[in-house]
Chain A
């Protein structure tokens, strides 16, 4: 709180209402209420100061400003959605199983970050500016281990790799298992963490950089600092993971196991182990995404349900099983969500995602990016 405070210039404060919480629960949308009045005031000011600006000019510049604001918010939100989608797509890509509990592992990641920040002393060591991001990154390895454990104890037990006849049975069992796991994690979370919404407070989340004023003081776009740092970290994590998948022996063996588990076994690759690692990586990556969200929004143990929609939509958009496609899919979902607020009330954000999602599934079932069932 100390580090960030000096940066809270009046512009930063003004941007509070604007740029804060443009994630899913965008109750404080920039394009409502006070926002419009402020622009009107500015327009009045411009008129008074002798500018010959017509009503249309004001309306257009207002729209451009809103558009740019939504674009920025969409890209920043989308980067984190992209990260979360990459996690889900790794699991689907390698195991060919939809992980219904994926949103709940994200929720676990949020709580890991929350407790690491508050209780385990990350806050004390790294401060409130850097701390939330360190806490988010810590969620990665912790949830990785949790994922490995869950696969080892539960999901791996029902993998039918031995013969192709048994494989489909293993699939159904895994689906149902992840569904059950989702319920356990949600209710276990409720029991452990309680139902009161929490969030990690960071000064960056309520600070913004102002781009502008541009175009004779008519357009000014705010870029939330917290979201920008989070988006940057998300992109770095995705790039690092893509490197691991493309370059390392481990990554190649995961892709080989995804391409053809039987042939991978002939190569000496332990496919069950590959699945276990893929599950661990998948939930860990999404948990980092959750950890990054944890300092921008408040959450409770059912938060995963809100985000599985986003993740499924992003992964399907990106073409099932493609890592880079999943990231672009998530990015697109973020953009669609934020852009929709230009035309639709905030409550319809998810509806907009679904409509776009349905259109793409109908018109281009292999996804927007890349072909279906490919590696990275």
Chain B
């Protein structure tokens, strides 16, 4: 579904990503882990078109994504839930969801999606009329995810959804993501600092360090890998 090939990107003159190759298959739950500053967010932004690559290619369902304007990429079925939530604070919760449904697909399936969203995140139904900026951190993260789901995406890209949340709230978010993936079969690409959990649920994992993929493998391969066990899982 998402094929990233030898992708290099950076900010201005500062290179961040170096020939990153990464694949996400339809229906898969893929995870990217790595230390701070490894370039995980930069990779996501390049997929979404906010950062321009210097080399390499990105394909989405076989289509050359780099030839598609940034704002048009959401319409192809990519939902990017950015790091730090980035909800629209002055819009209401419901209006945030409506902006999620800005895509054609999202508009057509608005009613069903909203129903599903409200069963997954009941608090968003309760606070539908509240300004999104007034929500708690955990609620804002739920809104950010729900806003992504409202577009009827084919691929859900989540950038550190647990960041800045209390452990309980983070667990809740995590559990919700897994259950959404399992119940809807939605393809998920997750960036996470909580390596143990991420690798526990992922079908496939990538380790990104200093802008390079240093390790990749299936769930079982990574869990039994000595380097992962030492560096990330503390075993």
Contact = CB atoms under 8 A, between A and B. Distances in A.
A236 interface: no
Contacts of A252: 91, 95, 98-99
A270 B86 contact: no
Contacts of B91: 252, 255-256, 259, 375
Contacts of A259: 88-91
A165 interface: yes
Interface stretch (B28-36, B66-74, B187-195, B205-213): B66-74
A262 B82 contact: yes
A102 B90 CA distance: 26
A98 B147 CA distance: 31
Interface in B18-52: 48-52
A163 B75 CA distance: 21
Interface in B73-127: 73-75, 79-80, 82, 86-91, 95, 98-100, 102-103
Nearest to B87: A263
Contacts of B100: 267
A279 B103 CA distance: 24
Given A255-B90, A259-B88, A260-B86, A267 B99 contact: yes
A48 interface: no
Contacts of B49: 265
Interface string A263-290: 1111111110100000000000000000
Nearest to B80: A266
Contacts of B99: 252-253, 256, 264, 267, 269
Contacts of A264: 88, 99
Contacts of B90: 255, 258-259, 374-376
A249 interface: yes
B167 interface: no
A265 B70 contact: yes
A259 B90 CA distance: 7
B122 to A, nearest CB: 23
A265 B11 contact: no
Contacts of B71: 265, 268-271, 273
B62 interface: no
Contacts of B82: 262-263, 266
A297 B98 CA distance: 45
Given A252-B95, A259-B88, A165 B75 contact: no
A262 B50 contact: yes
A216 interface: no
A103 B54 CA distance: 43
Contacts of B79: 266
B12 interface: yes
Nearest to B10: A163
Contacts of A52: none
Given A253-B99, A262-B82, A267 B87 contact: no
Given A255-B90, A255-B91, A267-B151, A163 B80 contact: no
Contact of B88 (A162, A256, A265, A376): A256
A162 B11 CA distance: 10
A252 B93 CA distance: 12
A162 B74 contact: no
A271 B88 CA distance: 14
Nearest to B103: A268
A269 B102 contact: yes
A165 B89 CA distance: 23
A187 B20 CA distance: 55
Contacts of A268: 71-75, 102-103, 151
Contacts of B72: 268, 270
A374 B132 CA distance: 12
A265 B151 contact: no
B162 to A, nearest CB: 19
A263 B91 CA distance: 13
A260 B79 CA distance: 16
A165 B11 contact: yes
Interface in A11-44: none
Contacts of B51: 162-163
Nearest to B157: A266
Contact of B74 (A262, A266, A375): A266
B89 to A, nearest CB: 6
Contacts of A375: 90-91
Scoring B48, B70, B71, B75 by chain A CB atoms within 10 A of each residue's CB, the highest score goes to B71
A375 B96 CA distance: 13
Interface of A: 162-163, 165, 249, 252-253, 255-256, 258-260, 262-271, 273, 374-376
Interface of B: 11-12, 48-52, 69-75, 79-80, 82, 86-91, 95, 98-100, 102-103, 147, 151
10 contacts: A163-B52, A253-B99, A256-B88, A258-B90, A260-B88, A263-B86, A263-B88, A265-B48, A268-B75, A376-B90
Given A258-B90, A267-B100, A269-B99, 15 more contacts: A162-B70, A163-B12, A165-B11, A253-B99, A255-B90, A259-B88, A259-B91, A265-B48, A265-B50, A266-B80, A267-B74, A267-B151, A268-B73, A270-B71, A273-B71
Closest 10 CB pairs of A and B: A268-B74, A375-B90, A263-B86, A259-B88, A270-B71, A266-B80, A267-B102, A256-B99, A268-B102, A374-B90
